[in-house]
Amino acid sequence: MIRSVITGTGSALPVRRVSNAQLAEQVDTSDEWIVERTGIRFRHIAGEGETTATLAADACRAALAAAGVDAQDIDLIVLATATPDQTFPASATKVQAMLGIDDCVAFDVAAVCSGFLYAVQVVDSMIRSGVAKRALVIGAETFSRILDWEDRTTCVLFGDGAGAIVLEAQDTADEGGRGILTTKLHADGRHNQLLYVDGGVSTTGTVGKLRMKGREVFRHAVTNLAAVMTESLAMAGLSADQVDWVVPHQANARILDATARKLGLAPERVVVTVDQHANTSAASVPLALDVAVRDGRIQQGQIVVLEAMGGGFTWGAAVIRF
C-alpha cells in the first residue's frame, strides 16, 4: 500500500513584524480590542522584494533540509495561494526556478484559507496513484497586498507568510504505518459574498481588496470545521480522544476554542500560532505545523488533524499518522 508521508516541514516569514500597538498608530483600533476579539498580537508584513514566491521558496528550502531531500529529486510542486506573484504563470513555477529544479510538474491551487488542505488532497491522490513520488506542498500568501488598510474590521486580522511540507511516497504493508490516512474537502459557493475580493482579472481588471462579513463567517466556521473533522476522523476509524494534535487554520483564537469545545478536544492539544502570525490564509496550517514540529510537540507516529475553512466557502480536514 502506497501512502504519502510528511518527511520534512519548513516555514518562512517576512522580516517586518508589526504589533497591534504599531497598527493602532495607523488605524482606529487598539491592542485590547484585537486581543480580546481575535487573540492576535503580531503579524508579519512583506516588504520590498518579499513576495509569495520568495517566501514559498524559503519555506521549501527549510522543508527540503529537514527531509534531507535534494531539490532535484522533487517531481511535483503544488502551491496553494490566493495572492500569486503574477496572474500567470503559476507562482509554483517561479518557486521551481528559484529552487533550481530543471523539470517537474508545478501548478497553483486556489481555495483561499483552505488552499493547503486542497493541495494536500490533490498531491496525496497523485502520490497514491503513482503519478508523483516526492512533492513539495506549499501554502504561501501576501494578504497585506489585498487588504484595505482603511477598513479596521479586516486589516487587523491578516498577515503574510509561507509554510511547506515534503510529501513522499512510502510503501507500507502496515495499516498502522505513517502517512496521510484520510482527507475530506467541501465547498459551498453560495457564500461568495461573505468573504471575497472586490476585483479580479475577468471582472474589474484590478486586483481588488478583501471584504468580509466577519460575524457570519465566524458562525459558519465553527459549524463546518467541527463537522469536517468529525467526518475525516470517522473515515480513518478514529475518535476525537485518539487525536494527539489538531493543527487548525489560524483565523481567530475564539474559533479555535469553540471548535475544540464542540469536539470535546482538550485545548492543550490544539496548536495555536494566531497570536504570533495572525491569519496567513493558505500559509497558516503549514506554518503552524512547522512551529509545532520544530519545537518538539509533534512527534513521529502521532495522530495529527489538519483543518481549515476559507472564502467560497471552502473547507476541509486531513488525518495523518505523522
Ligand X SMILES: CC(C)(COP(=O)(O)OP(=O)(O)OC[C@H]1O[C@@H](n2cnc3c(N)ncnc32)[C@H](O)[C@@H]1OP(=O)(O)O)[C@@H](O)C(=O)NCCC(=O)NCCS
Catalytic residue chosen out of the listed positions 155, 249, 252, 277: 249
In terms of residues, how long is the chain?
322
CB of 66 to ligand X, least distance (A): 27
Virtual torsion, Cα 70, 116, 140, 218, nearest 10 deg: -160
Instruction: Pick the catalytic residue from 20, 113, 252, 277.
Output: 113
Rounded to whole angstroms, how far apart are CA atoms 78 and 93? 9
Mapping DSSP onto H, E and C, the string for 164-183 reads EEEEEEEECCCCCCCEEEEE
Residue 169, strand partner residues = 4
Question: Is 249 annotated in the active site?
Answer: yes
Q: Which residue, 62 or 289, has its beta carbon nearer to ligand X?
A: 289
| Angle at which helices 115-128 and 284-294 cross, to 10° | 80
Provide the minimum distance between the beta carbon of 194 and ligand X in the complex, in angstroms, as a whole number.
9
CB nearer ligand X, residue 54 or residue 154: 154
Q: What are phi and psi of 256, to 5 degrees?
A: -60, -45
User: Cβ of residue 33: shortest distance to ligand X, in angstroms?
Assistant: 4
In sequence order, the β-bridge partners of residue 161 are: 141
Instruction: Record the cell numbers describing residue 169, joined without a space.
Output: 511516497
Backbone angles phi, psi at 235, to 5 degrees: -60, -35
Nearer to ligand X, 274 or 298 (CB): 274
Q: Give the residue with the Cβ less far from ligand X, 285 or 309.
A: 309
Task: Tell me the residue number closest to ligand X, measured at CB.
Answer: 214
Q: In what order do the strands lie in the sheet with 245-248?
A: 179-187, 314-321, 303-310, 245-248
Catalytic residue status for 279: yes
**Helix residue ranges, H only, 68-213:** 91-98, 115-128, 152-155
**Contacting positions for ligand X (CB under 6 A):** 29, 33, 37-38, 113, 152-153, 156, 212, 214-215, 217-218, 221, 251-252, 255, 279, 309-310
Give me the phi and psi of 19, to 5 degrees please: -85, 165
Q: Which one, 74 or 274, has the nearer CB to ligand X? A: 274
The answer to whether residue 155 is catalytic is no
Quick check: 13 and 290 in contact, CB under 8 A? no
Closer to ligand X by Cβ: residue 78 or 221: 221
Nearer Cβ to ligand X, position 91 or 250? 250
Give the nearest distance from C-beta 163 to ligand X in angstroms: 16
CB of 149 to ligand X, least distance (A): 12
Report, in Å, the least distance between residue 110 CB and ligand X.
Answer: 14
DSSP3 helix / strand / coil % (the chain, rounded to 5): 40, 25, 35
H or E element in which residue 203 lies:
none
In the numeric block, which cell numbers belong to residue 78?
Answer: 503544488
CB of 126 to ligand X, least distance (A): 26
**Active site members:** 113, 249, 279
